[in-house]
């Protein structure tokens, strides 16, 4: 991860975890991701244009695994 410090990674994980809705383990909500991008990426980098969540994060694999695991219950 290059020169990224442990405290920075821990703080990033804490902020990312806020995007997860209650009751849906493993998948962040679209609104949660958008909020995270708006507050932690756009504001920090002073980006004015909209950044669609699917441009920075793909949840395809996570959704496939979740569906497979739920199917085994």
Q: What is the pLDDT of residue 31?
A: 81
Q: What is the pLDDT of residue 8?
A: 78
With 80 as the cut, is the pLDDT of residue 64 above it?
yes
pLDDT digit string, tens, across residues 35-54: 888 888 888 788 889 888 88
pLDDT digit string, tens, across residues 18-34: 766 655 566 777 788 88
The conformational region for residue 43 under phi > 0 = left, psi -120 to 50 = alpha, else beta, is alpha
Alpha-helical segments (H) within the chain = 6-17, 30-36, 43-45, 53-56, 60-71
Look at residue 57 and give its three-state secondary structure. coil
Rounded CA gap, 23 and 30, in Å?
A: 15
Q: What is the pLDDT of residue 68?
A: 80
Q: What is the pLDDT of residue 20?
A: 65
Rounded CA gap, 49 and 44, in Å?
A: 13
Domain locations in the chain as residue ranges: 6-71
In this structure, what DSSP letter does residue 48 have? Answer: -
């Amino acid at each position: 991860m290059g020169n990224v410090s442990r405290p920075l990674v821990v703080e990033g994980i804490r902020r990312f975890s806020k995007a997860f809705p209650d009751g849906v383990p493993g998948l962040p909500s679209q609104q949660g991701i958008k909020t995270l991008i708006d507050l932690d990426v756009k504001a920090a980098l002073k980006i004015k244009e909209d950044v669609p969540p699917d441009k920075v994060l793909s949840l395809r694999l996570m959704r496939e695994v979740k569906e497979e695991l739920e199917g085994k219950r």
